[in-house]
Amino acid sequence: AQSAAAAARVRAEQRQRWPVVSALVTINQGDPTLPGTDVIGGLSFEAPVLNQRGGAIDRARAEQTLAETTTDVEGRRLSAELDDAFEQARAAEIRARALGAEVLPALEEARRMTEEGYRDGHVDLLRVLEAQRAALEGRTAYVEAQAAWQRARADVERALGDEAEATHAP
């Protein structure tokens, strides 16, 4: 919209270089000092001979270039945000899936085996508590990874929404 407005300003400044034509029509009717009705008409031209508005036109063109460049930079920023958000979402998804599919089952198996070893008298209580702590930390890491994945997905959706608004702006 700013680019379109700047282009309109350039056209408006260029139009001001054109001659301005003014028409004037005067009618004198019912004047007792005149023998009849007088109709007087005239045209005047205001030609900007010495003022070609070069500075104003150049300034308007510079504003148009600035608006176009700003639009281009904003588009690139949105694209970079989208790429970044997508890569972060992908990495968070991989981490969450790895924790859920590989790490949590291994930690739970280690905890279960440590508890069985404790019941059989082969493992001391400290090892059981460490295994339980590791399993809890693994679950916490899994939940945090899931949350990070969802936040990253929301960032992707936000970046897509911003980009869609920028490309469909009037």
- The number of beta carbons lying within 10 Å of the beta carbon of residue 133 is 11
Would you place residue 51 in the very low, low, confident or very high pLDDT band (cuts 50, 70, 90)?
low
Would you place residue 14 in the very low, low, confident or very high pLDDT band (cuts 50, 70, 90)?
confident
- Residue 9: is its pLDDT beyond 70? yes
Task: Using alpha carbons, select from 138, 89, 131 the residue that is nearest to residue 113.
Answer: 131
- Residue pLDDT, tens place only, 55-89: 777 888 888 888 889 989 988 988 888 888 889 88
- Residue pLDDT, tens place only, 88-131: 889 999 999 999 999 999 999 999 999 999 999 999 999 999 99
d(CA 93, CA 153): 9
In 47-149, where do the E strands start and end? none
- Residue 34: is its pLDDT beyond 80? no
Mean pLDDT of the 147-157 span? 90
Task: Quote the mean pLDDT of the chain.
Answer: 85
> What does the pLDDT read at residue 168?
46
Mean pLDDT of the 137-162 span? 89
Would you place residue 166 in the very low, low, confident or very high pLDDT band (cuts 50, 70, 90)?
very low
d(CA 75, CA 167): 8
> What does the pLDDT read at residue 170?
43
